[in-house]
Structure 1
Amino acid sequence: MNKCKVFLVSIILILSACSTQERALEVSSSFVGTFNGGNPSRSCGAMWWEIIRHQEGTYKISFFKDSERKQYDFSEQGKWWVKNGYYYAIAPKYMVEPDVYSVKVLSEYQIQFTSSKYDESAKCKDNYRFIDHKVR
């Protein structure tokens, strides 16, 4: 009987730890939708983008060479989440670790990102700040 109680308590602890981890990785509705952003003053080259973040925690981002977003450069897809005030994004095809940004929701349509940590594959490792503007 005692072994059965220990087993049941162990299972409950394992399950509660799993549910805590699930809650820690949030997909915030403020980040869901289509956003435009850009960083024209980046020291390793200006860039602009359109990112579509889905509710289930996936994204597709297209990068452009111009602010009008007419000169397509490349795209990537990956996963995103928010945890403890930080936004994480990883494109598993290219990255081992996620890029990490501190975030501040400025309004219903604007989110400010400040770079914090980069995957080792990043071409540009300069710290920078940008604002994504919700368009849809």
Structure 2
Amino acid sequence: MKKKLSFVMLCFSVILFAQHSDNKKNQIDQKLVGSWKGEEDDQQIAGMHKSWIMHRSDDGKFLLLFVAVQDGKTTTFTEKGQWWVENGKFYELHKGDGKTDVYDYKVLDENHVKFKASQMSLEQNNENYEFIDTRIEE
């Protein structure tokens, strides 16, 4: 019984070490954790207004809720994925299509973060795509 318990403890230790190692690769900027909102007009698609709420967890997961309005038609959709920062850039891996968007980012204050597209997975109307996320008070 002792050997079995020791083996189980060893397995848990290996799993925890592997998870800890993954966390080192994908760094989390605690200033970006929480719920945020933003909006933009005509930046990704001409004639489209897009607004969103994004929740970034401290485990690197995100949930993104979009509302897009174009030509009087409203569309809503959600995206899930992983986020992290590396070398001063913000990475957003989208679970649905497996593609990653990369942004330069600057924390303006505790409630505002400016993002500027560095490498986008989808073609943009504006190669200088940028926006500001505002923290949602909880």
TM-score with structure 2 setting the length: 0.71
Q: Select the structure that is richer in strand.
A: 2
Offset of residue 98 of structure 1: 0.9
Q: Is the 8 A contact 1:36 1:135 kept in 2?
A: yes
Structure 1 segments unaligned to the other structure (5+ residues): 1-17
Determine the C-alpha separation between the residues in 1 that align with 2:93 and 2:37. Answer: 18
**Sequence identity percentage:** 27
Structure 2 segments unaligned to the other structure (5+ residues): 1-19
Offset of residue 72 of structure 1: 5.5
Q: How many residues align?
A: 112
- Match for residue 87 of structure 1? 90
Offset of residue 94 of structure 1: 1.4
Q: In 2 relative to 1, CA 110–22 (structure 1 residues): closer, same or farther, beyond 3 Å?
A: same
- Match for residue 37 of structure 1? 38
Q: Which amino acid aligns with 1:106?
A: L
Offset of residue 130 of structure 1: 0.3
- Match for residue 6 of structure 1? none
What SS does the corresponding residue of 1:65 show, helix, strand or coil? strand
Regions of 4+ moved over 3 Å:
21-24, 123-126
- Match for residue 134 of structure 1? 135
Q: In 2 relative to 1, CA 43–24 (structure 1 residues): closer, same or farther, beyond 3 Å?
A: closer
2:51 is the alignment partner of 1:76: no
- Match for residue 105 of structure 1? 107
TM-score with structure 1 setting the length: 0.72
Offset of residue 124 of structure 1: 3.2
Offset of residue 41 of structure 1: 3.2
**How big is the alpha-carbon RMSD for the aligned residues of Structure 1 and Structure 2?**
2.3
Q: Is the 8 A contact 1:118 1:125 kept in 2?
A: no
